[in-house]
Amino acid sequence: MFYIWSVSCQQDNNIAKLEKTIWREKQVVFYILHSMIYSFAFTIHIIISTITLLAGISTIVMSVHGLIKRREYTRSDLALSVTFNVALYFQLILGFLIYYLLRSHPEGSIWKVPNTQNDASLRFWAIEHIALMIFALFLTQLGRVFIKKSKEPFRKFRASLFYFGTSLFLILFSVTMALFFR
């Protein structure tokens, strides 16, 4: 009787050990996957941000050119503004993914460790970035609607300059903040 009990006890113990190793393995796999997705998302985020910046700058240059030369609003102008807007939408999705991954990571180490003593201003960098970019996205979306609804090319270029210009200003502001404070 006692023998049976002890055997079953041992078996239980073995099963518990096995479960623990499985759980650990699962944990490791989760860590690796998590880190992979994170670094992948982050890389794409950076690549798209370059595209966004280029599209934004060329949109502004084209609209200034259009305003000065008084030319027609062409398909390439439209394509550039749409690229700008759509890239920002992608950034929003990726950004929220990254934000979620950062917060949910079991190993907090991916949070970049601030290395200076006075880091109060840095604590909210992510939040400031998110808020600024969402406003920039809204502006580009409104600008697109405005351009679509306007008829004269002059008004289209003016709306394009105003909305995309303000949006680009917000983006550049955030970028400089990231470059100089981080």
Partner 1 sequence: MKLLTKSTLLTATLSLFLFFIMGVIFFQVLKNMSLSTLDRELGDLKEVVEDHMLETDDYQNLSLPGIDSLVVLPVERPVQTGVIFGDSVMRDLKDKQFRTFRYLQFNKAKGDQYYLVTIFKSTNPTDKLVEQVTLMITLMVILFIAGIFILNRFIFGSLWKDFFEAIEKLKRFEKTKEPVILGEQDIQEFDELKRVLEVMTRRLANDYRELKEYTDHTTHELQTPLAVIKSKTDLLIQSDKLGAHEMKLLEAINTSVHQLSRLNSTLTLITRIENRQFTAEGEIRLDKLLDRHLELLHEHIELKQIKVEKHYNDGGRVILMDQGLADLLVANLLKNAIVHNSEGGTIILETGPGSLIISNDGPPLTFDKEELFTRFVRDTKRSGNFGLGLSLVKKVCETYQIIIEYSFEDQRHTFLLNLPD
* Footprint of partner 1 (CB under 8 A): 106-109, 111, 113-114, 117-120, 123-124, 127-128, 130-131, 134-135, 138-139, 142, 145-146, 149-151, 163
Using DSSP, state whether 118 is helix, strand or coil.
coil
For residues 182 and 177, what is the distance between their CA atoms, to the nearest angstrom?
Answer: 8
DSSP annotation of 74 reads: -
CB of 92 to partner 1, least distance (A): 11
Enumerate residues 6+ apart whose C-beta is below 8 A from 118. Answer: none
CB of 114 to partner 1, least distance (A): 6
CB of 108 to partner 1, least distance (A): 3
CB of 171 to partner 1, least distance (A): 14
Nearer to partner 1, 83 or 128 (CB): 128
Nearer to partner 1, 14 or 176 (CB): 176
8 Å CB contact between 92 and 171? no
Enumerate residues 6+ apart whose C-beta is below 8 A from 101. Answer: 34, 37, 38, 41
For residues 154 and 63, what is the distance between their CA atoms, to the nearest angstrom?
Answer: 9
Would you state the structure tokens that stand for residue 145, as one six-digit string?
A: 């609607």
Nearer to partner 1, 42 or 169 (CB): 169
Nearer to partner 1, 5 or 116 (CB): 116
